[in-house]
Amino acid sequence: MVARGNYRIYSNVIKNDDKFYSIFVGSAEVTGGRVRVTRLSGPYIPKIGDQVIGMITDVQPLAATVDINSYINGFIMANAFYKKRIDPSKRDLSEKVRVGDLLSARVNRIERGRDVSLSLDQRWRVDGDAIFYVSPAKAAYLLKSKSNIISKIKAFTGAGIVMGINGVIVAKGEKDSIGRITEIVRVIESQVELNGLEDMLKGVLR
Amino acid sequence: MGNLIIDGKRTDGRGPLDLRPLKLEVGTIKNAAGSSYIEHGKNKIYVAVYGPKDSHRYGTSMEKAIIRCRYHMSPFSTDERKSPQPSRREIEISKVIRDALESSLILDEFPKTLLDIYIEVVQSDGGSRSASITAASVALADAGIPMKDLVEAVAVGKVDGTLVVDLSDKEDKEGEVDLPIAFLLNEDMITLLQMDGKMTVDEFKEAVKMAKEAAIKIKTKQKEALGKKYFEKADEK
C-alpha cells in the first residue's frame, strides 16, 4: 500500500476504496496531493514522444522494422528516410538502410496490437563501436537527472555516447574508452537502488 | 491414522497454526526477465518468467497478453523416480496456477504478447502448488508485470479431526482434507480454492480464516524478498 486518503493518481498506482496500491516494484512518492510510483523493473513500455535507440531487424520496400528493446517492435515508413513520398517501383528502402543499422528515433504513434510507429530524429544515424543494454528504469533515471550525468560520463571516458530511454547505450571511441564504458555499465547494473545510483557514478567518475 | 497429532503437536513438531520454514529469493536466474526460488519446508522450487514477448501464434489476444504456465517436477524431486513426461496432475496444476495468477495481473497493456512462466520443482514436499503460486507471483513482480497485488497461497487441512495450516507431504496423504487456497489480500479475493475430502461448513469457514492469517505471514516474506533485491532496506511498500 502506498497511501491512504484522497489523492489523485499520477502513475503506476491503482485505487481500491480509499487505499492506493502500487502495481510495480518501485519507489513511491506522494507530492502535492498526487501519488506516483517509479518503476524499478520490467521491460520498456513505449510512450509517445520517447527518444529511443533501435536496431533495424527487417527492411521491406516501404517500411523498416526496428527492435526497440521492448516487448513490441517499432516500424518506420520509408518516406521518413527520404522526407517525401516515394514510389516503391522506383526506389527501394534497402539503398538507405540495412539490417543491423542503428538509429535514433522518437515514438510517434501507438496503436493497440500493432507495432509502434517511430519518426526519425534530425540526425538519425547512430554510429558506434559497442552497444550496451541497461534496465529501462535506470536509463530513464539517468536521462532525467539534473546533474547531467551523461555528459560527465562522456568527459570521463572520452567516448561518444548516445543513450535511449529504452535502455540502449551506443558508444563510439578508442578501445580504452570502450573499456571504461563497459566498467560504468557494470556499475549501473550492479546498483539496485535508483537513489544511490547518481552518487555511486560520481564516485566512479572522479 | 490417528498418530499424526500427538499432544497437540504434529509429526514435525509444529503446532496446528505454524508454517514450515519459508525462504524466498528473487532474481536467481539471470537469463529470465524475472525469477525466484522458494524453499518451503522440503519444497525447493525455481520459477522463471520470460516475456512479455511479441507473438503471432494462433490464440493470442488483441485484448491482453496470454499466459503460458508450465509446472514440472524433476525426475529426482520425489522418493521414487518420476517420469519427466508431464503427468495428468502436472497439467492440471499448471492450469490451476495460471488461473490463480492471471486474475492478479493487469495484462491489457501488452496486447498480442506471450508471457511464459516456468515452474520447476527440484525437491518436492506437500503443498508444492501453493509454494509455486507464492514464488511465481514474486517472479512476476520481479519481471515488472503490473499487478493488483501479490498472490500468496497456502494449504489448510484436517488431520486427525484437527484443522491445521500448511500441510506436509505426510499430512497431505494421510489426512482427511486438503484445501489449498490462494489470496489477493488487498482486494479481499480468493483466486484458487480446491478441496480434497469432506468438511462441515463451520470447519470450512474456520479453515479459510486460518489460511488468511497464514497468507498475511507469507506476504511479509514476499515483500522482504523483493525488498532485498530492489531496496537495501526492506521497508513498507
Instruction: Calculate the alpha carbon distances from A83 to A49, A54, A78, A86, A140 in Å.
Output: 19, 19, 9, 9, 30
Q: What is the pLDDT of residue B236?
A: 43
Do A26 and A61 lie in a common domain?
no
Same domain membership, residue A56 and residue A122: yes
* pLDDT classification of B108: cutoffs 50, 70, 90: confident
Is there a domain that residue A46 lies in?
no
Q: Which residue has the higher pLDDT, B183 or A78?
A: B183
Q: Which of A126, A147, A176 is the last residue of a domain?
A: A126
Q: Does residue A103 share a domain with residue A155?
A: no
- Quick one: pLDDT at residue A9? 59
A51 contacts A106 by C-beta, under 8 angstroms:
yes
CB contact under 8 A, A16 and B186: yes
Scored b (16 or more CB within 10 A) or e, B204-224 reads beebeebbbebbebbbebbbe
Mutate to test the interface with A, among B55, B112, B151, B216 (most CBs of A within 10 A): B112
Tally the domains of chain A: 3
Q: Which residues, 6 or more positions from B201, have their beta carbon under 8 angstroms from its beta carbon?
A: none
- Chain B closest CA to A168's CA: distance in Å? 17
Which residues touch B215 (CB under 8 Å, ≥6 apart)? Answer: B152, B153, B154, B181, B183, B185
When pLDDT is averaged across residues B183-211 and rounded to a whole number, the result is 92
Q: Taking CB atoms and an 8 Å limit, are A41 and B143 in contact across chains? A: yes
Neighbours of B164 (CB within 10 A): 25
Tell me how crowded residue A117 is: count the other CB atoms within 10 A of its CB. Answer: 19
**Could you read off the pLDDT of A22-49 as tens digits, one per residue?**
888 877 777 777 777 778 888 888 888 8
Distances (CA, A) of B141 to A58, A132, B35, B101, B169: 32, 24, 9, 11, 29
Q: Is residue A169 part of a domain?
A: yes
pTM over 0.80: yes
pLDDT higher than threshold 60 for residue B172: yes
For B26, other C-beta atoms within 10 Å of its C-beta total: 23
Task: Say whether both A91 and A146 belong to one domain.
Answer: no
**How far is the CA of A114 from the CAs of A82, A99, A198, B224, in angstroms?**
24, 21, 36, 38
Query: Based on the domain organization, do A116 and A61 belong to the same domain?
Result: yes
Any domain includes A138: yes
Determine contact: A177 vs chain B, CB below 8 A: no
Give the per-residue pLDDT at B47.
Answer: 96
Instruction: Give the pLDDT of residue A6.
Output: 52
Judge: B110–A112 Cβ closer than 8 Å, yes or no.
no
- Judged by CB atoms closer than 8 Å, whether chains meet at A192 and B231 is answered as yes
Q: Give contacts of B237 with chain A, Cβ < 8 Å.
A: 1-2, 22, 25, 28
Residues of B in contact with A43 (CB under 8 A): 33, 52, 144
- Measured between alpha carbons, how far is B101 from B134 in angstroms, rounded to an integer? 9
The answer to whether residues A23 and A62 belong to one domain is no
B91 has pLDDT over 90: yes
Cis bond upstream, residue B52 (ω within 30)? yes
Residues of chain A with pLDDT under 50: 1
pLDDT of residue B235: 45
Q: In what order do the strands lie in the sheet with A3-4?
A: A3-4, A19-22, A13-16
Mean pLDDT of chain B: 89
Domain boundary among A75, A100, A126: A126
Whether A179 contacts chain B with CB within 8 A: no
Each residue of B111-138: pLDDT tens digit? 888 999 999 999 999 889 999 999 999 9
Asked if A140 and A196 sit in the same domain, the reply is yes
Residues 33-92 of B with CB under 8 A from A: 33-34, 51-54, 62
Residue A171 within a domain? yes
Q: Domain check: are A143 and A186 in the same one?
A: yes
pLDDT digit string, tens, across residues B18-53: 999 999 999 899 899 999 999 999 999 999 999 888
Structural domain boundaries, residue A66 = 51-126
Q: Give domain status of residue A190, yes or no.
A: yes
d(Cα A150, Cα A163) in Å, to the nearest integer?
A: 8
Tell me how close the Cα of B142 comes to any Cα of chain A, in angstroms. Answer: 6
pLDDT at B234 over 50: no
Query: Is A71 within 8 Å of B148 when comparing Cβ atoms?
Result: no
The enclosing domain of A99 has a CATH number of: 2.40.50.140
Cβ–Cβ below 8 Å for B145 and A112: no
CA B119 to chain A, closest CA, distance in angstroms equals 20
Q: Which residue, B208, B197, B154, is CA-closest to B173?
A: B197
Choose among A21, A71, A193: nearest Cβ to B186: A21
3-state secondary structure chain A: CCEECCCEEEECEEEECCEEEECCCEEEEEECCEEEEEECCCCECCCCCCEEEEEEEEECCCEEEEECCECCCEEEEHHHHHCCCCCCCCCCHHHCCCCCCEEEEEEEECCCCCCEEEEEEEEEEECCCEEEECCHHHHHHHHHCCCCHHHHHHHHHCCEEEECCCCEEEEECCHHHHHHHHHHHHHHHHCCCHHHHHHHHHHHHC
Give the pLDDT confidence score for residue A192 in this predicted structure. Answer: 67
Which residues on chain A are in Cβ contact (under 8 Å) with B232? 192-193, 196
